[in-house]
A and B are shown apart, each in its own frame.
Chain A
Amino acid sequence: EAEVAQSPRYKITEKSQAVAFWCDPISGHATLYWYRQILGQGPELLVQFQDESVVDDSQLPKDRFSAERLKGVDSTLKIQPAELGDSAMYLCASSPGQGVGYNEQFFGPGTRLTVL
C-alpha cells in the first residue's frame, strides 16, 4: 500500500540551529501539504504545492521557514534559525488531482521536532 514517507521521525535541536524535514508523497499525487501541529491542536497549514508551484504559503513564517518541491515530487521544509516555539509535529500530506475539492489527504507519520 502506497504511503507518504517522512524523515526524520524525531529531531532534537538547539535554538538558532538549522533543521530540515523531508517528505516523499504517494507516487502521482500532484498536491503536497506541509502542516505544523502543536500538541493538543489541529494541523495548521504552512504551505501547499501543486506540482512544483506554491499554491498557498500565507501561514508560513517566511523569515525563518522555507519550503521547496523542485521537481514536483518530494519536498523539503527548512527552519533557520529554529526557535523554542517551533517545537511541534510537522506533518506532510499528499492528494491526487489538481484543483479538486473533494479529494482526501494522505498523511505521513510526521516529524516530531523538539527545540532546546
Chain B
Amino acid sequence: GNSVTQMEGPVTLSEEAFLTINCTYTATGYPSLFWYVQYPGEGLQLLLKATKADDKGSNKGFEATYRKETTSFHLEKGSVQVSDSAVYFCALLASGGSYIPTFGRGTSLIVHP
C-alpha cells in the first residue's frame, strides 16, 4: 500500500535558522505530493504541492522538490520565524482507481526567538 514517512520531531530551531523536514514516500504510479501545516487548535491547510517529478512547490518561503529517483519531497526554508511554529504533514494522492490520500505522522517545528 501507499505510505509516507516523515522525520521524527520535534524540530527545535532558533529564529532565522535553516529548516529541513524530510519526507519519503511509497506509492504506486505517479502520486501528487503535498505539504500541509497545522497550527494549534486548527485544521490543516495546504502549504505547497507538486504534481510531477522535478516540480518544485513553493509558498511563504517554503520549498519542496518532487524527487522521483529518491521518492522524496523534503520541505525547506532558508530562514524560519517564530510564527512558523506548527506541525507539518507530508501527504500524497496516488491513483489506484480512485485518488486516496495518505498522510505522514507529522513533524512538530518549534522556533525560538
Contact = CB atoms under 8 A, between A and B. Distances in A.
Chain B contact surface mostly: strand
A42 B100 contact: no
A92 B86 CA distance: 20
Contacts of B105: 40-42
A102 B93 contact: yes
A36 to B, nearest CB: 11
Q: How large is the interface on B (under 10, 10 to 19, 20 to 34, 35 or more residues)?
A: 20 to 34
B98 A107 contact: no
A104 B100 contact: no
B43 A109 contact: yes
A36 B5 CA distance: 18
B101 A33 contact: yes
A105 interface: yes
B45 A107 contact: yes
B103 A43 contact: yes
A56 B44 contact: no
B9 to A, nearest CB: 9
Contacts of B102: 45
A42 B103 contact: yes
Contacts of B106: 40-42
A51 B46 CA distance: 22
Interface of B: 4, 31-32, 34, 36, 41-46, 49, 51, 89, 91, 93-95, 98-106
6 contacts: A40-B105, A42-B89, A101-B51, A101-B94, A102-B49, A106-B46
